[in-house]
Amino acid sequence: MASTRIEEIVQLLDGPSDVTVTGSGVQAAGADGVAIADLLIATMETMDVQTTGGASALTTAAVGEDDLATLQVIGQWGVDQFTTLDRMSGRMPQDARLRADESKDLLQRVVQRLEALAESISCECSRAASSDDLGLLPCATCSGSEGSGPPSASRPTSGSNGTSTPSPPGASTAPPAPSDTSSRETDPPVTPAPTPAPAPAPRPTPGPDPSPTPNPLPIPIPIPIPLPPEPSGPGNPSEPPGQPPDPGPDEGDPCVLIGFLGIEIPGIIIGGVCVGLGG
C-alpha cells in the first residue's frame, strides 16, 4: 500500500498542474500550489502509517522463520522508496518538502532496523526480543544455543589420589644372587708374562715437496656493478618525485554501502564515512 502512495506522489508532481511560470514542479504559491501541497502532505502521512504497519508485520514474521530473503526484499523496497521520494522532494512546495524529510527519516529507520535484524537473525533472543513501532528490536547481546559445544574433560594427574604406581609386567622381583668370594680367596695369584718391545719403524724416503700452489679464494662480484649516485645540481636534475596518493572522497560525494542484507544502499560521505540513505 505504501508503494501505491509513492506512485500517487509522482502522479501529483508529474500531472498537468505542475507546469507553472516558475518552472517544473508544483512551485506556485497560488490556490493550485496550496492544494497540491496539501495533497502531498496528506499522501505522505498515509504512506508513513502504511510503511510502519507493514514493516512491523513483515519483519516480525521474517525473524520468526529465520527468513533472511524476506528481510532483503523489504530492505530493497525501502531503498527504492527513499530514492524516489528523495528525487521528487526537490520539486515539492516548501511545506511538502519539509514533510517529505520526515518520511525519508522513517524509511531510513526501516532500512537500519532491517540491517540490525539481519545481523542477529540467528540469535536466540531474536524471537523473544522487545518491539517498537517498527516491529521486533534486534538482540542487545547475541548468544548461540546453550550446550552447543562438546564438554571438555580434564586430564587426571598421575599420583594425585595417593595410589602407588604398579610395576610393569614381566619385571623380576627376586633379589640378586650373592657373589661367590670363597674361591677367589683360595686361588694363588697369577704373575703376568713380560710384554716384548716393539720393533723400530722404517724411516721414510725424502722426495719432492708435494705442497700445491694455493689458489686465491673467489670473491663474488655483484652483477650489474652498482654505481655511486651522482650529485644533483644545475646540470644533473634529480629524479621527479613519485605520484601523490589519490585523495579520499570529498564531503557530500555519493557512495554505496553493502551490509548484512547484501543489498546496495546508496549514501553520501559525511565526515569521511559513507552514511547510508543520506545520513
Q: Are 106 and 47 in contact (CB under 8 A)?
A: no
Q: Has residue 29 got a pLDDT over 90?
A: no
Measure CA 168 to chain center.
56
**What mean pLDDT comes out for the span 88-93?**
95
Could you report the per-residue pLDDT of 157-194, keeping only the tens digit for each?
444 444 444 444 444 444 454 444 444 444 555 555 55
**What mean pLDDT comes out for the span 9-31?**
57
Q: Has residue 92 got a pLDDT over 90?
A: yes
Percent of the chain with pLDDT over 90: 41
Q: Of 5-19, 94-108, 237-251, which gets the smallest average pLDDT?
A: 237-251
Strand order in the sheet with 273-276: 254-258, 264-270, 273-276
Cα 94–Cα 96–Cα 100 angle in degrees, nearest 5:
115
pLDDT at position 149, please? 39
What is the residue whose three cell numbers read 536466540?
124
273, β-bridge pairs: 270
pLDDT at position 104, please? 97
pTM of the model: 0.59
pLDDT at position 69, please? 96
Higher pLDDT pick, 241 / 83: 83
pLDDT at position 101, please? 97
Place 147 in a pLDDT band, splitting at 50, 70 and 90. Answer: very low
CA distances from 198 to 75, 194, 195, 201, 202 (A): 107, 13, 9, 9, 12
pLDDT at position 248, please? 73
CA distances from 207 to 11, 200, 202, 203, 213 (A): 120, 22, 16, 13, 17
Could you report the per-residue pLDDT of 39-53, keeping only the tens digit for each?
999 999 999 999 999
Q: Of 107-121, 126-140, 195-209, 239-253, which gets the smallest average pLDDT?
A: 195-209
Place 95 in a pLDDT band, splitting at 50, 70 and 90. Answer: very high
What are phi and psi for residue 111, nearest 5 degrees? -65, -40
pLDDT at position 114, please? 96
DSSP structure class, residue 265: E
Could you report the per-residue pLDDT of 188-234, keeping only the tens digit for each?
555 555 565 555 555 655 555 555 555 554 555 555 555 666 665 55
Q: Are 37 and 96 in contact (CB under 8 A)?
A: yes
